[in-house]
């Protein structure tokens, strides 16, 4: 099975940079996804990493180290609308199922 | 373009009553379909997953069941709801096969069992 760990909550100031970490343990790693979920809404896709390194997409970047079972999501130039829960999810070979972490709640303050 | 619908959006049901939540996908064929539950303060828990009509995999033992009567329709049911069934139920779809398996989520149903 999979074990995915994320810190639960963090507060950051508008305009700042925040890093959200995710560690995982799985057999047959086949990709890691980051989703954003605003309160009461469905998760929306942010990024996908399957190879080591950094993927940049506008203000959001995601990093993966397969050997360390570690990923982070970097949010730059924080905006109030970035207040949300950020979910890390791991895909394993041989199935089509994503295993989600509990999510990290980011609160952006003025 | 593809869209995913869920209904109802919110539901309040008494303990012991039946449940039927519906999910439909448009604009794609042979999708993989998923039912998740998100309880307060907890992560997304996969309940059921389906790769085709009539093919359902159950991830956790529970008093819920799922059915896929048509290619793009996925139904979550219960004969008798428990208090612990309260939560936010999300349906999702992904492309058939492939290794890049982004899942697209529906708007969700918030279920409160009293």
pLDDT in tens, B48-85: 999 899 899 888 767 899 999 999 999 999 999 999 99
User: How far is it, in rounded angstroms, from Cα A29 to Cα A48?
Assistant: 13
Predicted pLDDT of residue A26 = 85
Predicted pLDDT of residue B43 = 82
User: How far is it, in rounded angstroms, from Cα A13 to Cα A106?
Assistant: 10
Whether residue A33 lies within 8 A of chain B, CB to CB, comes out as yes
Tracing tokens 């360390």 back to the chain, one arrives at A68
| Distance between B101 CA and the closest CA of chain A, angstroms | 7
**pLDDT band at residue B114 using 50, 70 and 90 as cut-offs:** very high
Residues 59-98 of A with CB under 8 A from B: 87, 89, 91, 96-98
Classify residue B85 by its DSSP letter.
G
Which is nearest to B51 in space by CA: B35, B32, B38? B32
| CB contacts < 8 A (A, B) | 53
Q: B97: Cβ–Cβ under 8 A, 6 or more apart, which residues?
A: none
Of all residues in chain B, what percent carry a pLDDT higher than 70? 95
Higher pLDDT among residues B97 and B54, named by residue: B54
Higher pLDDT among residues B41 and A13, named by residue: A13
Looking at beta carbons, which residues of chain B come within 8 Å of A103? Answer: 43
- Is pLDDT above 60 for A1? no
């Amino acid at each position: 099975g999979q074990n995915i760990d994320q810190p639960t909550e963090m507060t950051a100031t508008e305009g700042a940079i925040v890093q959200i970490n995710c560690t995982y343990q799985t057999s047959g790693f086949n990709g890691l996804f980051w989703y954003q979920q605003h309160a009461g809404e469905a998760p929306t896709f942010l990024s996908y990493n399957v190879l080591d390194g950094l993927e940049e997409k506008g203000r959001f970047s995601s990093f993966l180290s397969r050997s360390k079972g570690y990923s982070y999501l970097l949010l730059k130039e924080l905006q109030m609308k970035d207040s949300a829960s950020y979910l890390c999810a791991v895909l394993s070979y041989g199935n089509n199922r994503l295993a989600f972490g509990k999510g990290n709640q980011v609160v952006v303050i003025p | 373009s593809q869209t995913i619908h869920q209904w109802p959006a919110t539901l309040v049901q008494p303990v012991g009553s039946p449940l039927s939540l519906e999910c439909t996908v448009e604009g794609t064929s042979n999708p993989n379909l998923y039912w998740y539950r998100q309880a307060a303060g907890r992560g997304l828990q996969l309940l059921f997953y389906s790769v085709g009509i009539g093919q359902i995999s159950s991830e956790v033992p529970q008093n819920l069941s799922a059915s896929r009567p048509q290619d793009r329709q996925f139904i979550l049911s219960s004969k008798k709801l428990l208090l612990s069934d309260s939560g936010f139920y999300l349906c999702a779809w992904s492309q058939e096969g492939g290794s890049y398996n982004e899942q697209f989520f529906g708007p969700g149903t918030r279920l409160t069992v009293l």
